[in-house]
Amino acid sequence: MPESAPKQAARGVVTDNLVSLQSFILEEEARYPGATGEFSWIISAISLAAKIIAYKVRHVRLQNVLGEQGEENIQGESQLRMDVIANEVIMRVLGGRSSIAVLGSEEDQEPTILRRGHEGGKYCVLFDPLDGSSNLDTAVGVGTIFTILRNDPTIHDAVGTVCQPGTQQVAAGYVLYGSSTVLVITTGRGVHMFELDAAIGSFMLVKRDIRMPARNKVYSVNEAYTPGFPAGYRRYLEWAHENGYSSRYIGSMVADMHRTLVNGGVFLYPPTKKHPTGKLRLLYEANPMSFLVEQAGGTSTTGTVRTMDVKPRELHERTPLVLGSKDEVAAVLAHFRSPADAMA
C-alpha cells in the first residue's frame, strides 16, 4: 500500500507539483525584483555540467576513463582521468556564462580569470569537480562541490577576489553521484534536494527545506588516524564508544556529508600527523558544506572557530572540520578543554 500523500508530506517529501531545478530557481529569482537572471543562468550551467559528469561517472569502465592521468595536481596528488574530465566539463560549461568573473578549481593551481567586473563579471565560482574520485574504481559515491561568491571589482588579483569568508557565499551545493544522482543546494533560503531523472534529463525537486535532526548518535571520521588526533578529539571518541554511538565513514566527503545532512550525526576531519591543519579545503569543500549545514539547522566549526568566519589566505587552504547536527557538534566540543585540544 503506497504511503499517503499527507504522510509523505509530513516527512517533507514533495508530493505537490512537479518542480524542476530550472523552475525552482526561476521561482526564487522572482522573489528579487531587481534580479537579472544571471545568477539563475549559473545554476543552470552547474546543472548541465552535473548531468554530463553523472553520465561519465556511471560509465567509467565502458567509456574507459578510469585510472590515472599520469600527472599530479597542485595538491601533489596523482590526478585521475575523471578528475581532469570533470574539471574540463565544468570549465567549458561555466566558461560560457557571461556573469562569471573568476573560476577556481581544486585541480588548478591558480584561479581562471574570465572577465573583470566592468566586463560583466559579477560572480566567482569555486568547485571541487570530482571529490572522492579515488573511490571510482570501486563504484562508491563521489561528488561535485560548488560555491558561488560575488566578485569584488575593486580587487584586481584573482586569489584576493575569491579569498572571502564562508559567510559571503551567495549559494553553495553539491551533486552526489550515488545510488541516485542528487543535487543539494542553498541560496541562503533553506536547503533543497533535487534528483536527476535521467529519462527526461532534469533535476526534479524531491525535498524542500531539509532540516537536519538535532541529534543522531552517528559519527563519521577516519579512526585509523586517531593516535595523531589532538587530545580533545581522542577524548570525544572514547566518550562516543562508551555512549552507544555508531560509526559510518565512506571516505568520500560528499557521500558522508549527504548522509549526515539527511539523517543527522557529525562528520569530523581533525588535524592529523600528515595534515596538521586538516586535509579538507576551506574554500571549496568546508565552506559550501558549512553553508548547507547551517541553513539546515546544524553547525560547523574548525574545532576552534565557526568555519564560515575564517578569512582565507589562499585558494587551496586546508582546515580541520567538525560539522553536523548542532547537539552532536556540541558533544565533540564539550571534550575540548582548551583551544590546544583542537590543534595538532
Residues lying near ligand P6P in the complex (CB under 6 A): 131-132, 134, 222, 251-253, 256, 279
- Please say which residue, 134 or 168, places its beta carbon nearer to ligand P6P: 134
At 310, which helix (H) or strand (E)?
A: none
As measured in angstroms, the least distance from the Cβ of 303 to ligand P6P is 16
Residue that the C-alpha cell 572514547 belongs to: 238
At 148, which helix (H) or strand (E)?
A: strand 142-150
- Please say which residue, 121 or 129, places its beta carbon nearer to ligand P6P: 129
Cα 227 from Cα 223, distance rounded (Å): 9
As measured in angstroms, the least distance from the Cβ of 57 to ligand P6P is 14
In terms of DSSP H, where are the helices of 130-244?
158-162, 231-242
Cα 129 from Cα 146, distance rounded (Å): 8
- Please say which residue, 223 or 238, places its beta carbon nearer to ligand P6P: 223
As measured in angstroms, the least distance from the Cβ of 62 to ligand P6P is 24
Sign of dihedral through CA atoms 120, 128, 136, 203? negative
- Please say which residue, 179 or 243, places its beta carbon nearer to ligand P6P: 179
Cα 228 from Cα 333, distance rounded (Å): 18
- Please say which residue, 107 or 131, places its beta carbon nearer to ligand P6P: 131
Q: Residue 290 in contact with residue 267, Cβ under 8 Å?
A: no
As measured in angstroms, the least distance from the Cβ of 150 to ligand P6P is 27
- Please say which residue, 137 or 157, places its beta carbon nearer to ligand P6P: 137
As measured in angstroms, the least distance from the Cβ of 66 to ligand P6P is 16
Cα 3 from Cα 216, distance rounded (Å): 25
Cα 249 from Cα 220, distance rounded (Å): 5
Going by C-alpha positions, the residue among 263, 234, 257 that lies closest to residue 321 is 257
As measured in angstroms, the least distance from the Cβ of 340 to ligand P6P is 23
